[in-house]
């Protein structure tokens, strides 16, 4: 991940409701969640949630697929991994274990 993509992703996450939505989507994994359910759980209007989801989508953090009349949102695991890697690549002079960060061995999970 380059610096500009990292800045875009971090800016998208730097808002309470967007961060909450991203974390919920990360928790449900491949199942995803409809936009309406995200809005209900976060406690904001549907149109506001749609705006937040568009910001996360434009940053490449989430994707959407249509299921009937609903849009199902999911995180993009590769982008999340790349962002986390970008943030920790140089941790503790190249020794992330010193910072309490254990490098992922099995990248299939997230």
What percentage of the chain carries pLDDT values higher than 90?
Answer: 75
Q: Is residue 62 part of a domain?
A: yes
**Helix or strand (DSSP H, E) at 63:** strand 62-67
Q: Is residue 48 part of a domain?
A: yes
pLDDT exceeds 70 at position 15: yes
Q: Is residue 96 part of a domain?
A: no
Residue that the structure tokens 């010193």 belong to: 98
Instruction: Please state the domain count of the chain.
Output: 1
Report phi then psi at 51, rounded to 5: -65, -45
Please report, for the domain that includes residue 23, its CATH number.
Answer: 1.10.10.10
Could you tell me the two tokens for 59?
């940053």
Mean pLDDT of 29-52: 96
Return the pLDDT at 90: 75
Q: Please give the model's pTM, rounded to 2 decimal places.
A: 0.83
Instruction: Tell me which residue range forms the domain holding 13.
Output: 3-76
Return the pLDDT at 104: 54
Per-residue pLDDT reduced to its tens digit, 48-69: 999 999 999 999 999 999 999 9
Return the pLDDT at 98: 72
Alpha carbon of residue 29 to chain centroid: 10
Phi-psi region of 68 (alpha: psi -120 to 50; beta: other; left: phi over 0): left
User: How many CB atoms within 10 Å of residue 44?
Assistant: 17
């Amino acid at each position: 991940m380059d610096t500009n993509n990292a800045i875009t992703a971090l800016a998208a996450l730097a808002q309470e409701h967007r961060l909450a939505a991203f974390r919920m989507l990360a928790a449900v994994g491949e199942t995803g969640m409809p936009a309406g359910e995200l809005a209900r759980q976060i406690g904001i209007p549907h149109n506001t949630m749609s705006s937040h989801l568009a910001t996360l989508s434009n940053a490449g953090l989430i994707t959407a697929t249509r299921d009937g009349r609903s849009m199902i949102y999911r995180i993009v695991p590769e982008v999340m991994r790349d962002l986390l890697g970008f943030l920790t690549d140089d941790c503790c002079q190249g020794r992330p274990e010193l910072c309490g960060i254990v490098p992922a061995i099995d990248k299939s999970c997230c």
